[in-house]
Structures are given as structure tokens and as C-alpha cells.
């Protein structure tokens, strides 16, 4: 494709879903609909109500159709997003108040409906909460559909996309995202949004890149502009020059060819030149990723973020549906381990449902993860029961997130024991020697991991949170992203200490934060003594390949060298030069934010 006509311009956002695409911009503007406002007579009331009912029916029909399409295209879990839309349609507050408005004020029904729904939208808009924001999107989306149907128009949607385009919008409703035929979709860009938006979940499921939080990009972009969206780096490049296109084209070609090479050997273990195996497992968020995990030859699942079962639908899945999901994953992995992490809700894992947790000033320091589970013990016990029942079908392990000290670990273990006793009493089969581990992602846990090791079977280091809590940098705040520094000597020291303390206690330790999937850091992690990494399934083949290029001896020398250094920039430069010297085909792409 020819390069763009204007000057090249780069926009930085948040890398939300991986991948790189080149395509043409399609700006999606939420349609402004003209809503008439006129008086009706009392004898027209019945007719107005009838029109309203018909519009509701029609809307229900449309949403059900989209739900089916999404279920076929992306899977049942993604389709459940539209159940929330169907619920909005049945919301008595919205429907009854619209009719009361009609009866009291004798204005046309679309005007009454818009007035009522706008009241809810305004009220929701004042609440600063991720869960409410997503529900707000649901209400706006459904309102728009109903108004279109009242006006007798079909919602002009993204369904008409007919070329490979990258869709850019201030924000997306879930039906916007789902309406785009997957075969054309090349990526999503939003000015607003977070990593947990519906659109990001959809982008990941459709394997297309997404970059969110690109402030003011719509002031510059126009329909048809040529852009590159880089979901690895969170970058959008407008009018890429020949040199940039060449660079991206070359790296894509190289990536594709290399990826095939990597895949060929990916089923084999990753063994260093001096004969040590490094286990490379996958992090997943749902069962739809199982085929990719198997295809990439992962050595198991090192982190199943079970909270996504909740996040995708906004409600807790039943014990039975969890059991079915856990059983499926554990069975499909054969003898390989599957580590199910109990819910890590709260913090940026959003959905601080008003009925569950009061608004918190510092949600990352609040009722998150194991604290949430220990507060809602019935929800927690349901989950533990489902996990234990599934443990009868394979190599399943349980992991608790965000343990800060012994008290929480004891409390979680005690609840697990209670559930085990109940199951035994009911003669339900489970793995009685099931291993239970914890995430090491809070500095206090890192400092006392020798003590914690006596009360659990394994550790997994969560560098995403460890970094945020050690450095006091919100991991999702783009204003302080430059301070979220994996080369900070404090982080390197704590990693070294965790590994040494674990080894001294013979406690297995792995790492499942994003750093484990970053090829520039992998030699250092191996040098620090880590032999088990858990990463996004897409990174497994290349990391196995990289490990085979390393010797433990040289990585230990590298680790010793950088541990003596005090400045992040030279540390990063040294890690990058070591990585690049391996010449295994991939130039370092890193999570480092600068
Ligand atoms: C981590 O904190 O590093 C981690 C793997 O967990 P999450 O990203 O789900 O918080
Ligand atoms: Mg974490």
C-alpha cells in the first residue's frame, strides 16, 4: 500500500490488545438522532404505548440477532454481554417511567422515552465507577436502538463496513463492536476506554489489535487516512512514511516467517544450551483461549484469571458453570498443570459493584482479590467448590491473589479446608493432595516469602502488581507510566530475593507478570534463577526459541552484572544488547513504557 500523503504523526495510547495492522481509518461517530417533541391527545395514549411496545419488541429482536451472531463468531462468553442489553429492555424503571411521563405530560412517546433514559444516563454519568460506565454504555446503546425503531429507521451501523478498516471512535458500545464483520476488522482505536472495556475483550477474542486512551486523536484523523495500529506498543501512526512502512512490513514479514519457525518446535521443551529446562506456560482469561494454548505448545496454564468469567457478564457464574469451565480446561491440558487463580476483583479489575463494595478512594489498596473473596465467603466457597470438583479431572492447582501476609493466607486456607470437608462428607471426588499457591505481588509478601512458604505449596510472582506496589505507580495511569519501571534496581533486588528465599525453602516459584513474556527481560529472569515463566499464549513459541539460545551460565553473569548497576536506562540498554546479540529473529519489543 502506498504511504500516506501528509506528514507522519505518531499518537501514543494504551496497548490494550496485541497485534499490528495497517489499514484505512473508519471514524465511527455515535449517530445523533433527531427526536421530535410534540403534543399528543389523551385518546392517542393507547396508540403511543403500542408504538413503544412495538419498538421494544423490534429492539429485542435486533439484539437477540446480534447476540446469536456474536455467539457464532466469538463464542458464548462474549455473546453474554448482550444479555445486559436485553435486561435494559425489561427495566421497569425505564419503561414505567416513560409511560408515566407520557400520561402526565401528553408528549409523543419518543420524546418521553428519551427524557427518561437521559435522566438515568445523566445520573450514571456522575458516578465515577468502571462498572457503572460499562452499564452506561449498555443503556445508551439500547436507548439509541429504541429511538431508531420508534423513528422507523434501521440503525445505521458498522455492519456496512466493506473494506479492511481500523475503526476509530471516542468510545464503542458493545453492539458497535460486535456489528463489525470480523473478516474486515483490522483493529480498534478509542480516545476513551480502559484495558477492561468490552471492546478490548472483543478485540482480544477476535485477535485484532486495540489501542485505547489515545487522547484527541479524532481531532486529527479523517476517514480514509492510512494508519498503522500497533497494539504491542500502544501506538498509532498516521501517514506512515515509506521508511516506517518498510520497517513495519519487514518486521511483520520477519515475524510471520519466524512465528512459523517458532511454532514448528514449540511442542518441544525449552532447554538451555547447558541443559536446563525452562517451563513456559500460558496466562489465559477464558476457555476460548484453550485452542491457542494447545497450538502454541504451552507447558501448561500458569495463570487462569478466573475473574474474567465474572467481568464478561457482570455477574458471578454459578458453581456448576464454573465447574464445567474448569473441568474443560483441565481435561484439555492432559497431564500439564492448570493453575486457577481465585477471583482477583477490585482495583483495575473493575466492576466494583455498588451492591458489593462501597466506593473506594484507593481501590488498588482496598477490597481487591483475596480481600474481596474473604469478605464474600459464599462467592469464594462456590468458586473453591467448583475448582476442587474439577481437580478430579486433571492436574489442577489453586492460587490465591494479592496475599499480603499470613492472616489472609490462613483465612483462605481455612475456607478451603471447610469446602474440602463438605465435599468429602458428600462423597464428591476431588484431588485431596491438590497444591495451593499464592501470588507474590505485594512487597510485604515478597519480604516474608520464607514464612509464607510454610503454609502453601508454590509461589507465582506477579510483577504487574509488585511493580505498582513497590514503586507506588498506578499500573493503569498513563500520566505516571514512565515511572512504572521494570529496570528499577529495587524491583530487580526484590526478584532476586524472592527466588533465593524460595529456593532456600525448596518452594517452587514461577513468574506470571507481563515481564515474564518480555524477551528483553527473560535472560535476566533465567539468570536470577527462575525456571518457570507464564506468559500470553502468543509469546510461548518465541520464548521457547529464545531460551534455547541461552546458557544459564551467561544469564547468571548478565544478572550479576546488572545487579551491580544503579540506573534503569543503562540496565535496560544492557539487557537489550544482550537480547539482541542472540539474533534469533525478533528485535526486542518491550513492555517498558519509555
Ligand atoms: C500480576 O500482577 O503480575 C499478575 C499476573 O496479575 P494481574 O495482572 O492479573 O493483576
Ligand atoms: Mg496481579
pLDDT at 587 over 60: no
Tally of CB atoms within 10 A around 551: 15
Cβ-count burial 156-179 (b if 16+ within 10 Å, e if not): ebbeebeeebbbbbebbbbbbbbb
Name the residue ranges covered by the structural domains of the chain.
9-35+158-255, 42-154, 258-355+372-400+436-441+451-582
pLDDT the model gives residue 439:
98
- Which residues, 6+ apart, have CB-to-CB distance to 491 below 8 Å? 463, 466, 467, 470, 471, 485
Q: Looking at the CA of 349, which ligand is closest?
A: 1
Distance 522 CA to ligand 1 centre (A): 17
- Lowest model confidence (mean pLDDT) among 464-468, 479-483, 544-548, 590-594: 590-594
Whole-angstrom distance, CA of residue 5 vs CA of residue 309 = 45
Asked whether the beta carbons of 344 and 368 are under 8 A apart, the reply is: yes
Q: What percent of the chain has pLDDT over 70?
A: 86
CB 428 within 8 A of CB 466: no
What digits encode the pLDDT tens for the residues 349-358? 655 444 556 6
Average pLDDT over residues 78-101: 84
The residue whose CB lies within 8 Å of the most ligand 1 atoms, and thus the one to mutate among 365, 446, 465, 498, is 465
pLDDT of residue 202: 64
SS3 459: strand
Residue with cell 509461589: 459
Dist CA 27 CA 223 (whole Å) = 6
Residue nearest to atom 3 of ligand 1 (CA): 462
Dihedrals φ, ψ of 38, to 5°?
Answer: -145, 160
What per-residue confidence (pLDDT) applies to 270? 98
Tell me the CB-side half-sphere exposure of residue 62, using CA atoms within 13 A.
26
Question: Which residues have CB atoms below 5 A from the ion given as ligand 2?
Answer: 441, 462, 465
Tell me the fold of 258-355+372-400+436-441+451-582.
Answer: TIM Barrel (3.20.20)
Going from the Cα of 349 to the center of ligand 2, the distance in angstroms, rounded, reads 10
Q: Which long-range contacts (CB under 8 A, 24 or more apart) does 418-421 make?
A: 418/381, 419/381, 419/384, 419/385, 419/388, 420/388
Q: Could you say which of 198, 367, 487, 488 is catalytic?
A: 198
Ligand 1 contact, 463 CB (< 6 A): yes
Cα→Cα distances 5→225, 450, 460, Å: 9, 61, 49
The crossing angle, in degrees rounded to 10, of helices 92-105 and 109-125 is 130
* 68 classed as catalytic: no
What confidence tier does 454 reach under pLDDT thresholds 50, 70, 90? very high
Rounded CA-CA distance 349/98 in Å is 34
Burial 475-512 (b: 16+ CB within 10 A, else e): bbebeebebbbbbbbebbebbbebbebbeebebbbbbb
Fold adopted by 9-35+158-255: Glucose Oxidase; domain 1 (3.50.30)
Q: CA of 106: how far to CAs of 111, 149, 216, in Å? A: 10, 20, 42
Alpha carbon 443 to chain centroid, angstroms: 24
Which among 194, 441, 476, 511 is the best mutation to test ligand 1's pocket, defined by most ligand atoms within 8 Å of the CB? Answer: 441
Q: Can you tell me the mean pLDDT for 313-338?
A: 93
Nearest to 75 by CA among 222, 287, 220: 287
Determine which helix (DSSP H) or strand (DSSP E) holds 215, and give its type and residue range. none
Q: How confident is the model at residue 201 (pLDDT cuts 50, 70, 90)?
A: low
What is the tens place of the pLDDT at every residue in 380-394?
999 999 999 999 999
Q: Which residues contact 5 (CB under 8 A, 6 or more apart)?
A: 239
- Is residue 3 very low, low, confident or very high in pLDDT (cuts 50, 70, 90)? very low
**Region 72-79: what's the mean pLDDT?**
75
Residue 511 in 3-state DSSP? strand
Question: 217 near 10, Cβ under 8 Å?
Answer: no
Q: What is the DSSP string of 17-47?
A: E--EEEEEEEEE-PPP------B--GGGHHH
CATH for 42-154, among 3.40.50.300, 3.20.20.70, 1.10.274.10, 2.60.40.10? 1.10.274.10
Residue 572 has pLDDT above 60, yes or no: yes
pTM for the model stands at 0.71
How far apart are the CA of 89 and the centre of ligand 2, in A? 36
pLDDT tens for 486-504 read 999 999 999 999 999 999 9
Taking alpha carbons only, the member of 60, 576, 543 closest to residue 283 is: 543
Asked if residue 152 has pLDDT above 70, the reply is: no
Q: Which of 449, 456, 487, 512 is catalytic?
A: 512
Q: Which protein residue's CA is at the shortest distance from atom 8 of ligand 1?
A: 464
User: What gap in Å lies between CA 410 and CA 413, rounded to an integer?
Assistant: 5
Per-residue pLDDT for 127 more than 80? Answer: no
**Residue 556: per-residue pLDDT:** 98
Active-site residue flag, 512: yes
CA dist 26 and 169 (Å) reads 9
**CA-based radius of gyration for the chain:** 26
Residue 179: pLDDT band (50, 70, 90) is low
Query: Which residue out of 15, 368, 439, 511 has the highest number of ligand 1 atoms within 8 Å of its CB and is therefore the one to mutate?
Result: 439
Report the nearest-CA residue for atom 7 of ligand 1.
Answer: 464
Q: How many whole angstroms from its chain centre is CA 429?
A: 33
Nearest CA residue ID for atom 6, ligand 1: 462
More confident residue, 195 or 437: 437
Q: Across residues 273-284, what is the average pLDDT?
A: 96
pLDDT > 90: percent of the chain: 49
What is the rounded average pLDDT of the residues 85-113?
88
CA distance 343 to 311: 10
Picking from 311, 312, 79, 348, the residue whose alpha carbon sits closest to that of residue 195 is 348
User: What pLDDT is attached to residue 258?
Assistant: 81
Q: What is the 3-state secondary structure (H, E, C) of 275-295?
A: CCEEEEEEEECCHHHHHHHHH
Q: What is the DSSP secondary structure assignment for residue 118, as one 8-state letter?
A: H
In tens, the pLDDT along 11-41 reads 998 887 778 999 998 887 655 565 677 888 8
Amino acid at each position: 500500500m502506498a504511504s500516506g500523503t501528509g506528514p507522519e504523526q505518531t499518537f501514543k495510547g494504551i496497548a490494550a490488545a496485541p497485534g499490528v495492522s495497517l489499514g484505512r481509518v473508519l471514524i465511527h461517530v455515535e449517530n445523533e438522532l433527531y427526536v421530535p417533541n410534540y403534543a399528543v391527545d389523551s385518546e392517542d395514549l393507547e396508540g403511543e404505548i403500542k408504538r413503544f411496545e412495538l419498538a421494544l419488541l423490534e429492539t429485542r429482536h435486533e439484539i437477540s440477532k446480534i447476540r446469536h451472531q456474536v455467539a457464532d463468531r466469538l463464542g458464548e462468553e462474549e455473546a453474554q454481554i448482550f444479555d445486559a442489553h436485553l435486561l435494559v429492555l425489561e427495566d421497569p424503571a425505564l419503561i414505567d417511567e416513560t409511560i408515566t411521563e407520557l400520561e402526565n405530560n401528553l408528549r409523543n412517546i419518543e420524546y418521553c422515552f428519551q427524557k427518561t433514559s437521559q435522566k438515568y444516563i445523566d445520573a450514571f454519568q456522575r458516578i465515577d465507577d468502571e462498572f457503572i460506565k460499562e452499564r452506561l454504555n449498555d443503556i445508551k446503546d439500547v436507548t439509541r436502538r429504541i429511538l431508531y425503531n420508534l423513528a422507523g429507521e434501521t440503525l445505521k451501523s458498522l455492519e456496512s463496513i466493506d473494506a479492511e478498516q481500523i475503526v476509530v471512535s471516542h468510545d464503542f458500545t458493545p453492539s458497535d463492536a460486535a456489528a463489525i464483520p470480523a473478516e474486515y476488522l483490522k483493529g480498534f482505536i478509542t480516545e476513551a476506554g480502559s484495558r477492561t472495556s468490552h471492546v478490548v475483550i472483543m478485540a482480544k477474542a477476535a485477535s485484532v489489535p486495540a489501542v485505547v486512551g489515545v487522547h484527541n486523536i479524532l481531532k486529527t484523523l479523517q476517514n480514509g487516512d492510512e494508519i498503522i495500529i500497533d497494539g504491542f506498543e500502544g501506538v498509532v501512526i498516521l501517514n506512515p512514511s515509506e521508511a516506517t512502512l518498510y520497517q513495519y512490513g519487514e518486521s511483520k514479514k520477519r515475524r510471520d516467517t519466524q512465528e512459523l519457525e517458532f511454532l514448528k518446535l514449540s511442542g518441544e521443551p525449552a532447554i538451555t544450551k547447558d541443559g536446563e529446562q525452562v517451563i513456559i506456560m500460558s496466562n489465559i482469561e477464558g476457555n476460548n483461549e484453550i485452542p491457542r494454548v494447545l497450538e502454541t505448545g504451552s507447558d501448561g496454564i500458569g495463570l487462569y484469571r478466573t475473574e474474567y468469567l465474572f467481568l464478561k457478564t457482570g455477574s458471578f457464574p454459578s458453581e456448576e458453570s464454573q465447574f464445567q469451565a474448569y473441568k474443560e480446561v483441565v481435561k484439555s491440558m492432559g497431564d500439564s498443570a492448570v493453575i486457577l487463580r481465585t477471583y482477583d476483583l477490585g482495583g483495575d479489575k473493575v466492576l466494583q459493584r455498588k451492591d458489593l463494595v462501597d466506593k473506594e478512594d484507593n481501590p488498588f489498596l482496598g477490597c481487591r482479590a483475596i480481600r474481596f473473596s474473604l469478605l464474600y465467603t459464599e462467592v469464594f466457597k462456590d468458586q473453591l467448590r467448583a475448582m476442587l470438583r474439577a481437580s478430579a479431572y486433571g492436574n489442577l492447582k489453586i492460587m490465591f491473589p494479592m496475599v499480603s501476609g499470613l492472616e489472609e493466607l490462613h483465612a483462605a486456607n481455612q475456607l478451603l479446608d471447610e469446602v474440602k470437608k463438605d465435599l468429602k462428607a458428600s462423597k464428591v471426588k476431588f484431588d485431596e493432595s491438590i497444591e495451593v499457591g499464592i501470588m507474590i505481588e505485594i512487597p510485604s509478601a515478597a519480604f516474608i516469602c520464607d514464612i509464607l512458604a510454610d503454609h502453601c505449596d508454590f509461589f507465582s510472582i506477579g510483577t504487574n502488581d509488585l511493580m505498582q506496589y513497590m514503586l507506588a505507580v498506578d499500573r493503569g495511569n498513563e500520566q505516571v507510566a514512565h515511572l512504572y519501571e521494570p529496570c528499577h534496581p529495587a524491583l530487580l533486588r526484590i526478584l532476586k530475593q524472592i527466588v533465593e528465599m524460595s529456593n532456600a525453602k525448596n518452594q517452587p516459584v514461577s513468574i506470571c507478570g507481563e515481564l515474564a513474556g518480555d524477551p528483553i527481560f527473560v535472560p535476566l529472569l533465567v539468570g536470577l534463577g527462575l525456571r518457570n515463566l507464564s506468559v500470553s499464549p502468543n509469546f510461548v513459541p518465541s520464548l521457547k526459541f529464545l531460551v534455547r539460545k541461552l546458557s544459564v551460565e551467561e544469564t547468571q553473569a548478565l544478572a550479576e552484572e546488572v545487579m551491580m548497576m544503579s540506573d534503569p536506562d543503562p540496565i535496560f540498554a544492557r539487557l537489550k544488547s544482550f537480547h539482541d546479540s542472540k539474533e534469533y529473529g525478533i528485535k526486542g519489543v518491550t513492555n517498558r513504557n519509555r
